[in-house]
Amino acid sequence: LFALFVGIALVKGGERFHAVRSLSQQFFDIMMMMITWVMKLAPLGLFALLAKLVATEAIRVLSRLAEFAVVVTGTTIFHGVVVLPLLLWIFGKMDPITFFKGTKTALITAFATSSSSATMPLSLKCAQENLGVRAQTAGFVIPIGTQLNMDGTALYEAAAALFIANLMGLDLSLGQQLIVCLTAMIASLGAPGIPSAGMVTMIMVLQSVGLPAEAIAILLPIDRLLDTVRTVVNVQGDMMISVVVDHHTKAPEIKV
Ligand code: ASP
């Protein structure tokens, strides 16, 4: 809130606060430079994490990780192939084959980039040109959906938190499991549409039931792989909702 007001005051003040504005810009540039260094080091860090995991925890953790990957991928695919198309059919009155044919370019791009934001221009194009969604609906629903609507991420974060609890031998009560699901939904709202963003907001989910945030290190090595499928479902959800909203906001035809 403070940052928001500082920003408003900077804009209102115009040239008077030029020095503070350029200081903020330079500070931002410094942060970006440091982040670039960290990103360059990340593959090595992941290699070290994975090497340590294999050397110390051996096959037990790895086979559990593989099981987790299969379960998460399976449920995410189920959500994308069964649940979402069913909702589209019921609420948007569009058959799933038409939907998948029209959106395949965006879905493949989401898979390849693991980024809803990078895919957004294509999602807009597919929705408007191939699914016949009006420009004003697509232009409103898809950008908001890209930021806020992430079914795949919510599903992943909830499953990951339960997996970590299970791995640590913690028995979560039903109430705690519901808290996990709820915070996963909220955390997915906050995740930006970039690769592995879900890993960051997942800290909130873990902490909601007292699990250590460091536990995400176990999932880091396989996250990039799982991110591909969940991003596809995130993007699919955005386009699907645009169809549903468009269907319900179209003015009824007037018969003369
Ligand atoms: N990569 C996802 C997206 O862009 C976000 C995430 O779950 O990490 O939609």
For residue 235, the ligand 1 atom closest to its alpha carbon is: 9
pLDDT at residue number 170: 86
- Residue of 134, 244, 231, 162 lying closest to 192 (CA atoms): 231
Q: Report residue 118 CA to chain centroid gap.
A: 12
pLDDT at residue number 140: 93
Number of CB atoms found within 10 A of residue 174's CB: 7
CA of 119 to the centre of ligand 1 (A): 11
Identify the sign of the CA torsion 64, 176, 144, 141: positive
pLDDT at residue number 256: 59
Compute the distance between CA of residue 198 and CA of residue 16 in angstroms, rounded to an integer. 40
**pLDDT tens, position by position, for the chain (256 residues)?**
898 899 899 989 989 999 999 999 999 899 889 878 887 887 788 788 777 777 776 677 778 888 999 999 999 999 999 999 999 999 999 999 999 999 999 999 999 999 999 999 999 999 999 999 999 999 999 999 998 999 999 999 999 999 999 888 888 899 999 999 999 999 998 888 998 898 888 888 998 888 888 788 888 878 888 999 999 999 999 999 999 999 999 876 665 5
pLDDT at residue number 255: 59
Question: Using a 6 Å cutoff on CB, does residue 234 contact ligand 1?
Answer: yes
Compute the distance between CA of residue 147 and CA of residue 254 in angstroms, rounded to an integer. 36
**113, 156, 205, 234: residue to mutate for ligand 1 pocket, most atoms within 8 A of CB:** 234
Question: Using a 6 Å cutoff on CB, does residue 114 contact ligand 1?
Answer: yes
CA of 251 to the centre of ligand 1 (A): 34
Q: What is the helix (H) or strand (E) element at residue 13, kind and residue range? A: helix 2-13
* Alpha-carbon separation of residue 65 from 106, 163, 166 (angstroms): 29, 9, 12
pLDDT at residue number 41: 85
